[in-house]
Amino acid sequence: MSSITKFPKYNIEAASDAREEMQAEDDLRKPYYTLPVGATKLHILPPLNGQTHPWVAVSTHFAKFGQKTITIVCPRVHAKRACHVCTHIGKLAASHSSVDQDTAKELNATVGFFVNAQIIGKEEFGSKEVRLPKGVIEQLADIASPDLGNCDYTDVQAGRVLIIVKTGSGMETKYTLTMRNEPHALAKTDEDIEAILATATDLTAKCVPMADQDILDRLAGREVRRGGSTAVSAAARPAMSAPHKTPRLLDE
């Protein structure tokens, strides 16, 4: 018998747990957090910056250029002005080509919902932007109904911890939302609560479309700098690996 049999063994499961933990940490460093499979507990922050609801709904077009996806907040929905992409979708959809029609479907704006929330168990990150699926937003509306006492789950001192359980994947993904009964404060002191609120982002800024010229530049593969149009050479143009799939957004 070896004399080192008492040596501690490395537990492979612990490695897997560590990997998941690292992934969760990475997710928290991203600009916004998407719900992982399993349970997420969070305290959604109250509406800020003149918002009516604790969430904002953002209509975004995703235009694929090879490996790169360009996101364009829809000016038609959010600024009540003509949207270059929507106009183009209309033309594609009217085409007899099935490729054009598929491209039109891909370009249709999708609605994303965002909240600011404190993630329970990850309080050290302050407030995080969390992207929630539509189904969860609908369940949130039910939870705040008069039948349930119009509970303001966002209250910073007497709100509620919401538990969202994500199961399945792809088309089979399901979300169930439950609310804890006992009140929950974001932090023990007013000062700490204010510090958490100070880390919340202005979600309404997500709903502000770029200027039309910036949209055109972006669709042409030119970089758009914050606060102004322009720049960069054709070298910055994204590779177009699937030309027939590339939305011809500039040939109108």
Q: What residues make contact with Zn ion under the rule CB under 5 A?
A: 74, 76, 83, 85-86
Q: Which is nearer to Zn ion, 76 or 248 (CB)?
A: 76
Nearest to 76 by CA among 39, 108, 38: 108
Beta strands 33-34 and 127-132 are parallel
The least CB distance from residue 75 to Zn ion, in Å, is 6
The least CB distance from residue 98 to Zn ion, in Å, is 22
Q: Which is nearer to Zn ion, 82 or 231 (CB)?
A: 82
Give the largest CA-CA distance in the chain: 81
Decide: helix, strand or coil at residue 203: helix
Beta strands 33-34 and 68-73 are unpaired
What is the SS3 string spanning 54-68?
A: CEEEEEEEEEEECCE
Phi, psi of 73 (to 5 degrees): -70, 130
The least CB distance from residue 87 to Zn ion, in Å, is 8
Q: Which is nearer to Zn ion, 74 or 104 (CB)?
A: 74
The least CB distance from residue 68 to Zn ion, in Å, is 19
Q: Which is nearer to Zn ion, 76 or 131 (CB)?
A: 76
Name beta bridge partners: 73: 60
Q: Which is nearer to Zn ion, 35 or 74 (CB)?
A: 74
How far apart, in whole angstroms, are the C-alpha atoms of residue 237 and residue 221? 5
**Phi-psi map region of 44: left, alpha, beta (phi>0 left; psi -120 to 50 alpha):** beta
The least CB distance from residue 248 to Zn ion, in Å, is 16
User: Which residue lies nearest Zn ion, judged by its C-beta?
Assistant: 83
